[in-house]
Structure 1
Amino acid sequence: MALPKILPYPMPVETDLPKNKVTWTVDPSRAVLLIHDMQQYFVDAFTPDQSPVVELIANIQKLRLYCTELEIPVIYSAQPGGQAPEQRGLLQDFWGSGIDDGPYQKKFVDAVAPAEQDMLLTKWRYSAFQKTNLLEILREQGRDQLMICGIYAHIGCLLTASEAFMKDIQPFFIADALADFSEEKHHLALTYAAERCAVTLTTEHLVTSLTQAYRPEPEGVGSFGGGMDERAAVEEQPPLTLQRLRDEVAALLQEQSANLGETDNLIEYWGLDSIRIMSLTERLRRDGIDISFVELAEHPTLADWRKLLSIKMSVSPPNYDYYTV
């Protein structure tokens, strides 16, 4: 009755996703992120440092950071340890006693542990709505969209999405931020969700949708925020070339261009936040460069961005001398 040992399998990508029956669009003013049961007890069933758990944790980290920057509420569900048989109910018959009463099994995986402002939900059944106040939280927050990530896709995550649908909450099933017992069961969950109760999408697609929805209309807010001239949002800007990249990033940070080291981590060292990265992403997209927030956030240095943009723009990288500090 214990959890099965989960063998590695490839995390789904965009081309693996089933066709969605509905065309709901995520809205940062309506959405909540649910990080479902990312406790050590469940994660330990996967093969460490292999797919899908590597992508699972990395994508949940991105989503949590992104939602925090956009002030989207983040809720963690967690099953309690040491449940008595009467608390466990019929789960006892299928899975045994579950999480023990020690500290290790019930703790969240360190890489995606909640922050002080995040909400914690004690979860007693498959669905995060059962025996909890999740619906009341959503209503109090004025939210009617639930973005679901975590484990396991075909059990608690899918049942939560299905119940959200039945409560008129629009579920968004984040395909590459979920994991399951097997590739077959993972795809089963995605197919059911897409055909019956939710929108399935990738982390990158979700981030792009939130970025587009979040970006305000040009009413005196600068394109890059943070001290830029308020007229910048409505003024026509020249195309962003590789030679201007350094100056654009410096402007975002309100720093002198010469201060930015070519290999400095712009997030960890300079404090470049997700909002400014989103702004830069949109600026590049308006200039015809097909790039995503995730691509920039994964390798946040001028050197890496320079190489990436060179590929995207189908030109040779400029001379490194321009970037020497």
Structure 2
Amino acid sequence: MSIGNLTSYPLPSASELPESRVAWPFQPERAVLLIHDMQEYFVAFYGTDSPLIEQVVRKLVELKARCKALGIPVVYTAQPTEQSDEDRALLNDMWGRGLPARPERYPVVGPLSPEIDDTVLTKWRYSAFHRSPLADLMRDWGRDQLLIGGIYGHIGVMQTAVDAFMRDVKPFVVADATADFSREDHLTALRIVARTAGRVLTLEDVVAAAADPGWTRAGLRGRVRGMLLDADELRDDDNLVDFGLDSVAMLGLAEELQRDGIRVDFATLAANPSIDEWWRLIDAASTPATSEIHE
């Protein structure tokens, strides 16, 4: 049983991305980029001239170039051409012989070919951490954030993100640099990561965060949601006290703002307990150094 033919679909837009429960800032000096399973074998299931693959490859090329410029290590996963039945085990039941049946399709697609200073990991299971030195490499590099893009979203990308979280590595899935079996599978994978394991963001978000890690409305929203036990129904104009936000959390937020040069104190936050009001205050009180805060 093989994967079967896959068709293109529109990539999720920024407005469709699920809210992540965590608001971890992307920090280039702590990050590693993982380009996941972009081998000719897996890409071929989309057929030739796939608009979806063209977009994803283009975005991964840009993402890789920007990561290289920031000194972020680049890691690839690639299944080997020779896999014994013992190595494949249950993968044979689920997917058949897989890549060993088409060894000529082992290479990573041309525009994304690994460079001499990139790391290529042998891939044995859905998670890139399984039977690989990825965790050890990240530890040696002093890095604990993992940017992930590639294929397939609801299989290896999502499960690598969850595995990263279980190892205290913060995963960031780049939604528009990822492809999946279908748009429904893609969105499902993003929702699971956002709800249980990490942050979902776009290539534009990564670029903006690397260039200007300041405060954003989306970042504020993520911070607030991370302070609440149940924020599923929270709207930006809701009273946060009604959702259980306490004074200790507000005080911590006020101290964080003031450390960043944004002059909003605890009393002002307590008197205006909603995301809408807090963002208005932050936007108005930003110092010149943080005045260009992106929506």
Is the shorter-chain TM-score for this pair beyond 0.5, marking a shared fold? yes
Q: Counterpart in 1 of 2:13?
A: 13
Amino acid at match of 2:27: D
The number of residue pairs the alignment matches comes to 221
Q: Counterpart in 1 of 2:255?
A: none
**Counterparts of 1:289 and 1:37, CA distance in 2:** 35
- 1:34 aligned counterpart, secondary structure: strand
Q: Counterpart in 1 of 2:199?
A: 199
TM-score by length of 1: 0.65
Once superposed, which parts of structure 1, at least 4 consecutive aligned residues long, lie more than 6 Å away? 285-290
Structure 2 residue 53 is the aligned partner of structure 1 residue 53 = yes
Identity of aligned residues (%): 43
CA contact (8 A) 1:171 1:197 kept: yes
Alpha-carbon offset, residue 32 of structure 1: 0.2
**Counterparts of 1:183 and 1:199, CA distance in 2:** 19
Q: Counterpart in 2 of 1:67?
A: 67
CA contact (8 A) 2:74 2:118 kept: yes
Alpha-carbon offset, residue 3 of structure 1: 1.2
CA contact (8 A) 1:127 1:156 kept: yes
CA contact (8 A) 2:127 2:156 kept: yes
TM-score by length of 2: 0.71
* Structure having greater relative contact order (Cα 8 Å, sep ≥ 6): 2
CA RMSD of aligned residues (A): 2.2
Which structure shows the bigger proportion of residues in helix conformation? Answer: 2
**Counterparts of 1:104 and 1:60, CA distance in 2:** 23
CA contact (8 A) 1:77 1:121 kept: yes
**Counterparts of 1:102 and 1:91, CA distance in 2:** 16
Q: Counterpart in 1 of 2:147?
A: 147
Alpha-carbon offset, residue 103 of structure 1: 5.2
Q: Counterpart in 2 of 1:99?
A: 99
Structure 1 pair 58–100 and aligned structure 2 pair: CA distance change class (3 A): same
Alpha-carbon offset, residue 86 of structure 1: 1.0
1:179-258 alignment, distance < 5 Å? 179-213=179-213
**Counterparts of 1:77 and 1:288, CA distance in 2:** 38
Q: Counterpart in 2 of 1:165?
A: 165
- 2:146 aligned counterpart, secondary structure: strand
- Structure 1 alignment gaps of length 5 or more: 215-284, 291-325
- Structure 2 alignment gaps of length 5 or more: 215-288
Amino acid at match of 2:204: E
Structure 1 pair 191–168 and aligned structure 2 pair: CA distance change class (3 A): same
Q: Counterpart in 2 of 1:23?
A: 23
